[in-house]
């Protein structure tokens, strides 16, 4: 409770845009805050691990007979939320497809996020933000701050400037019941050059960049679990693509000590070719905390058959033992 209270208030104190939108502590800030990892575990237990993307591509808007405008993106997003509500627990809007319309796109996004909150969906905003100091704190206030118009449950982040550059975000997330997913190993071939590069000095010397980020996040989650004396999933996760051989990145998925109950956001199943039935083969000891993130493979069903498509996919994913 205290953590939630402090989290909410300090979120505002940190220059949270929400302070401007609704002055003073918001109801959210005064409500008890459950850890993101605990809320994720709750979703896994009830609705399962499927996460449906909200990706209003120009071509998907065309397929859905929607205009390639902010209004089209809003209609698309609210339709996905309505179809997801009740049958799936997690949605992941790709913010680039709203941001391309500027402020109108953000108005559309805020309406989609409002619907998702009302529906009780866990929202992971795919923003891949990353910066330093007061700038990264400002991103945190905007996306994780209690009462902010863009408030979501978790965001994806990029750590090219080092995981330490995101400490302010990590603290804010833990204080306010929010989550982060740090890019670690991604599926695109060009990523190998950086993500498989070898750290030259420090405690992770000799290991790949991707493994270093994974282990740093896992260490954080292990420490957080110890201090909270709970054994749930951690609130800070990583992104590990589903079409990869993680061994190529020097990641040993059977390394129990390194797991730290770390949640894994896994894009690449479905459309991109990752095979859900191979979940344990791909993620080993991490597979129990994998979020299966799918967009086109579900969205291509179109608005009329989307709900049916989601229900079917929830069942297929639910049948897989993690």
Site for a copy of itself in 134-193 (CB under 8 A): 134-136, 138-139, 141-142, 145, 148-150, 158-165, 183, 186, 188-193
Taking a C-beta distance cutoff of 8 angstroms, is the pair 119, 81 a contact? yes
Residue 77 contacts a copy of itself per CB under 8 A? no
Residues 286-305 that bind a copy of itself (CB under 8 A): none
Task: Answer for the pair 33, 176: CB distance below 8 angstroms, yes or no.
Answer: yes
Active site residue 92: no
Name the one range near a copy of itself by CB under 8 A: 10-18, 79-87, 254-262, 297-305.
10-18
Burial label for 282, CB within 10 Å (0-12, 13-18, 19+), is buried
Which of the residues 56 through 75 are near a copy of itself (CB under 8 A)? 57-59, 67-70
**Binding range to a copy of itself, per CB under 8 A, among 37-45, 98-106, 277-285, 311-319:** 98-106
Residues facing 39 on adjacent strands: none
177-186 in b/e form (b: 16+ CB < 10 A) is bbbbbbbbbb
Closest CB to a copy of itself among 38 and 171? Answer: 171
Do you know the residue count of the chain? 322
Helix (H) or strand (E) run with residue 222 in it: helix 209-227
Our CB check for a copy of itself shows the closer of 289 and 295 to be: 295
> Are the C-beta atoms of 128 and 156 separated by less than 8 Å?
yes
Residue with Cβ nearer a copy of itself (131 or 153) = 131
Residue 176 or 186 with smaller CB distance to a copy of itself: 186
Positions in 20-49 near a copy of itself (CB under 8 A): 20-21
Closer of 215 and 288 to a copy of itself (Cβ): 215
Rounded Cα–Cα distance for residues 214 and 244 (Å):
15
Q: How far is the CB of 217 from a copy of itself (least distance, A)?
A: 14
Q: CA-to-CA distance for 128 and 180, rounded, in angstroms? A: 10
Q: Is 273 in the site for a copy of itself (CB under 8 A)?
A: no
Paired with 123 in beta bridges are: 91
Tokens 């799936």 identify what position? Answer: 88
- Residue 200 binds a copy of itself, judged by CB under 8 A: yes
Please, what is the minimum distance in Å from the beta carbon of residue 87 to a copy of itself? Answer: 25
H/E segment holding residue 218? helix 209-227
Q: Annotated active-site positions, please?
A: 128
């Amino acid at each position: 409770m205290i953590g939630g209270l402090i989290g909410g208030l300090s979120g505002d104190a940190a220059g949270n845009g929400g302070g401007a939108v609704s002055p003073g502590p918001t109801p959210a800030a005064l409500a008890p805050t459950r850890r993101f990892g605990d809320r994720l575990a709750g979703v896994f237990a009830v609705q399962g691990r499927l996460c449906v993307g909200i990706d209003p591509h120009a071509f998907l808007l065309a397929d859905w007979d929607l205009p390639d405008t902010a209004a089209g993106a809003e209609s698309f997003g609210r339709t996905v939320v309505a179809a997801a509500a009740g049958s799936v627990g997690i949605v992941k809007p790709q913010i680039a497809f709203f941001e391309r319309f500027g402020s109108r796109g953000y108005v559309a996004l805020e309406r989609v996020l409002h619907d998702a909150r009302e529906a009780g969906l866990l929202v992971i905003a795919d923003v891949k933000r990353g910066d330093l100091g007061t700038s990264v704190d400002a991103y945190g206030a905007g996306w994780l701050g209690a009462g902010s118009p863009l408030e979501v449950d978790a965001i994806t982040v990029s750590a090219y400037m080092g995981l330490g550059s995101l400490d302010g975000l990590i603290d804010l997330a833990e204080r306010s019941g929010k989550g982060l997913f740090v890019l670690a190993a991604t599926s695109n071939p060009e990523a190998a050059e950086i993500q498989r590069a070898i750290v030259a000095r420090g405690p992770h010397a000799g290991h790949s960049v991707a493994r270093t980020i994974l282990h740093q996040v896992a260490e954080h989650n292990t420490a957080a679990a110890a201090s909270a004396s709970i054994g749930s999933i951690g609130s800070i996760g990583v992104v590990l693509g589903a079409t990869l051989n993680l061994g190529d990145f020097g990641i040993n998925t059977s390394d129990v000590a390194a797991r730290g109950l770390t949640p894994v956001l896994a894009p690449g199943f479905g459309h991109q070719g990752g095979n859900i039935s191979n979940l344990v083969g791909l993620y080993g000891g991490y597979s129990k905390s994998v979020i299966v993130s799918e967009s086109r493979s579900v969205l291509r069903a179109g608005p009329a058959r989307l709900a049916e498509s989601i229900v079917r996919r929830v069942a297929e994913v639910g049948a897989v033992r993690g």
